[in-house]
Amino acid sequence: MSNIALIGEKEVIIGFSLIGLQLFPVTDSEGAIKALRDCDRNNYSITFITNDIAQKIFEKIVEYQKLSTMTICILPNRTKETTLSLDILRKNVEKAVGTDILFRKEG
Structural domains for the chain: 4-97 (3.40.50.10580)
Secondary structure in 3-state letters for 8-75: ECHHHHHHHHHHCCEEEECCCHHHHHHHHHHHHHCCCCEEEEEHHHHHHCHHHHHHHHHHCCCEEEEE
Looking at 21-25, 62-66, 77-81, which range is the least confident one? 77-81
29-76 pLDDT, tens digit per residue, is 999 999 999 999 999 999 999 999 999 999 999 899 888 889 898 887
Q: Which of 97, 56, 100 is nearest to 74 (CA)?
A: 56
- CB 6 within 8 Å of CB 13: yes
pLDDT higher at 39 or 94: 39
Q: For 20, how many CA atoms within 13 A lie in the half-sphere containing its CB?
A: 4
Question: pTM for the complete prediction?
Answer: 0.75
Query: Which carries the bigger pLDDT value, residue 11 or residue 98?
Result: 11
Residue 54: the pLDDT is 93
Q: Between 79 and 22, whose confidence is greater? A: 22
pLDDT attached to residue 66: 85
* Coil, strand or helix at 95: helix
- Residue 41 in contact with residue 17, Cβ under 8 Å? no
SS3 of residue 4 by DSSP: strand
Lowest mean pLDDT among 24-28, 35-39, 81-85: 81-85
